[in-house]
């Protein structure tokens, strides 16, 4: 805990289902806690607390009025008992949801799971990201986060005269595949991707529409179609490409990795993919970085639309969501890159300073202790 939070950490378990989970409400000075819920076998309290803090900064940077929070369930999302485990988890948090926290989607959960959450608590406002058939905004299905990552990448690339350059993308899941699709539309050459089943690269460019089609058919195993293009997992970050988009796991680029990157621009599609040491090394090398809570904030923008629509009979217009994501993320990307250059700090430091200013002002107005 520090001067910003977390305000509440709730660990829950259930011996009958074997469920173990945690909710971290980090800072609600700007509104009710809102952040995704992930289901992974390795989830722990520290991981969820770090992600909850990212959400605090993310909401503040896009200047939308919700607070930082995150939840996690320590379980295999492929388990045949997934629904039972999920229902057990949300029941344990019925005292906090939706008054203090609203569920959303993260690794391991889908729109169908959001529907289960709302059913279990008997409240259509308990979770956002529900299926279209239930009046929700299925932002994972729409690919809003990945679209936003691509918009941020394009804005940063324009500032560095890199439009149409080569791009390597780590991860081809909900975020990575949508980013690849949008970057391909914008005229970029995607030369490497990875999935949980492996990685492939082609210096002449991959056929993104074909990859998207195969992903729909076989999921992560789309890479099996290209034995001649296989590379070692992790190497996709270090291929010869001007732009790298880590869009899978956290903590994938450390100091050594930052020194080895060939890219001129890193756009963080995943949460927490680079270490502070890596960020400083990249700054010293002249490599621009669009921070995670700037680049992947498209999800929170769409979640804000979904929050407004939770109890409404009307569904938000998809075009309005995409337009707002593009407008906000492009403006924030340009502002943060300029601020970092003018102050000779990392882009993460510049973005956090902006977020902390907004959160600190909200804390002051609410009569809470101000961070020193």
Q: Where are the domains of the chain?
A: 8-136, 144-297+340-349
* pLDDT of 371 higher than 80: no
Residue 65: pLDDT band with limits 50, 70, 90: very high
- How much is the pLDDT for 10? 98
* pLDDT of 202 higher than 70: yes
Note every long-range contact of 227-235, with CB atoms under 8 Å and residues 24 or more positions apart, other chains counting: 229/200, 229/201, 229/202, 230/198, 230/199, 230/200, 231/192, 231/199, 231/200, 231/201, 232/199, 233/194, 233/198, 233/199, 234/170, 234/194, 234/199, 235/199, 235/201
Q: Could you tell me the two tokens for 281? A: 């090394």
Annotation: CATH topology of 144-297+340-349: Rossmann fold (3.40.50)
Instruction: Look up tokens 């929700």; give the residue.
Output: 136
Residues 247-284: pLDDT tens digits?
999 999 999 999 999 999 999 999 999 999 999 999 99
Return d(Cα 217, Cα 149) in angstroms, integer. Answer: 24
Residue 28: pLDDT band with limits 50, 70, 90: very high
Closest CA relative to residue 310, chosen from 142, 63, 118, 166: 118
Residues 338-355: pLDDT tens digits?
999 999 999 999 999 999
DSSP 44-67: -HHHHHHHHHHHHHHHHHTT-S-E
* pLDDT of 316 higher than 90: no
| Mean confidence (pLDDT) of the chain | 96
Candidate CATH numbers 3.40.50.10860, 1.10.287.130, 1.20.120.50, 3.50.50.60; the one for domain 8-136: 3.40.50.10860
How far apart, in Å, are the Cα atoms of 177 and each of 131, 209, 219, 295? 20, 10, 11, 15
Instruction: Look up tokens 């089943």; give the residue.
Output: 197
* pLDDT of 369 higher than 80: no
DSSP 232-288: -TTGGGGSS-SEEEE-S-SS-B-HHHHHH---SEEE--SSS-B-HHHHHHHHHTT-E
Hey, how many other C-beta atoms are within 10 angstroms of the C-beta on 133?
Answer: 9
- Please answer whether residues 65 and 59 qualify as being in contact, where contact means their C-beta atoms are separated by less than 8 angstroms: yes
Encode burial over 222-234: b for 16+ CB neighbours within 10 A, e otherwise.
bbeebeebebeee
- Please answer whether residues 179 and 247 qualify as being in contact, where contact means their C-beta atoms are separated by less than 8 angstroms: yes
Question: Active site includes 70?
Answer: yes
**Same CATH fold assignment for domains 8-136 and 144-297+340-349:** yes
Q: What is the pTM of this model?
A: 0.90
Catalytic residue (choose from 20, 34, 58, 70):
70
How far apart, in Å, are the Cα atoms of 169 and each of 123, 166, 249? 38, 10, 12
* pLDDT of 196 higher than 80: yes
Residues 92-144: pLDDT tens digits?
999 999 999 999 999 999 999 999 999 999 999 999 999 989 988 887 788 99
Instruction: Look up tokens 């679209």; give the residue.
Output: 147
Closest CA relative to residue 229, chosen from 192, 264, 255: 192
Closest CA relative to residue 67, chosen from 7, 118, 109: 7
- What mean pLDDT is predicted for residues 67-85? 97
* pLDDT of 372 higher than 80: no
Residues 134-193: pLDDT tens digits?
988 887 788 999 999 999 999 999 999 999 999 999 999 999 999 999 999 999 999 999
20-24, 130-134, 200-204, 326-330: which range is least confident on average? Answer: 130-134
Question: Which residue(s) pair with 289 in the sheet?
Answer: 266
Residues 219-254: pLDDT tens digits?
999 999 999 999 999 999 999 999 999 999 999 999
- How much is the pLDDT for 311? 86
In angstroms, how far is the first alpha carbon of the chain from the final one?
Answer: 14
Instruction: Look up tokens 């970092």; give the residue.
Output: 340
* Prior bond of 112 cis (ω within 30°): no
Sign of CA pseudo-dihedral 102, 104, 106, 108 = positive
């Amino acid at each position: 805990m520090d001067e910003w939070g977390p305000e509440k950490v709730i660990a829950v378990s259930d011996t009958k289902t074997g469920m173990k989970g945690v909710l971290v409400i980090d800072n609600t000075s700007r509104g009710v806690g809102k952040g995704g819920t992930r289901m992974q076998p390795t989830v722990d309290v520290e991981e969820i607390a770090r992600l909850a803090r990212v959400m605090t900064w993310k909401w503040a940077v896009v200047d939308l009025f919700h607070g930082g929070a995150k939840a996690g369930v320590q379980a295999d999302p492929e388990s045949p008992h997934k629904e039972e485990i999920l229902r057990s988890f949300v029941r344990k948090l019925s005292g906090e949801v939706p008054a203090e926290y609203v569920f959303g989607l993260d690794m391991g959960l889908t729109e169908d799971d959001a529907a289960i959450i709302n059913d279990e608590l008997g409240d259509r406002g308990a979770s956002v990201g529900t299926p279209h058939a239930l009046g929700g905004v299925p932002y994972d299905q729409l690919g809003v986060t990945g679209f936003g990552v691509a918009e941020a990448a394009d804005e940063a690339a324009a500032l560095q005269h890199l439009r149409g350059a080569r791009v390597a993308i780590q991860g081809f899941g909900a975020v990575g595949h949508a980013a690849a699709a949008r970057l391909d539309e914008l005229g970029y050459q995607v030369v490497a991707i990875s999935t949980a089943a492996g990685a492939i690269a082609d210096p002449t460019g991959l056929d993104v529409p074909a990859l998207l089609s195969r992903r729909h058919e076989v999921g992560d195993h789309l890479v099996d179609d290209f034995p001649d293009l296989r590379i070692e997992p992790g190497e996709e970050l270090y291929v010869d490409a001007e732009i790298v988009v880590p869009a899978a796991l956290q903590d994938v680029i450390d100091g050594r990795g930052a020194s080895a990157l060939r890219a001129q621009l890193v756009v963080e599609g995943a949460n927490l993919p680079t270490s502070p040491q890596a960020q400083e090394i990249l700054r010293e090398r002249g490599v621009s970085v669009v921070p995670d809570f700037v680049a992947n904030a498209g999800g929170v923008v769409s979640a804000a639309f979904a929050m407004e629509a939770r109890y409404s009979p009307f569904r938000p217009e998809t075009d309005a969501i995409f337009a707002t994501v593009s407008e906000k993320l492009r403006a924030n990307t340009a502002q943060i890159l300029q601020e970092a250059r003018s102050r000779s700090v990392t882009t993460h430091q510049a973005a956090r300073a902006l977020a902390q200013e907004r959160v600190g002002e909200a804390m002051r107005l609410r009569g809470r202790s101000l961070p020193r």
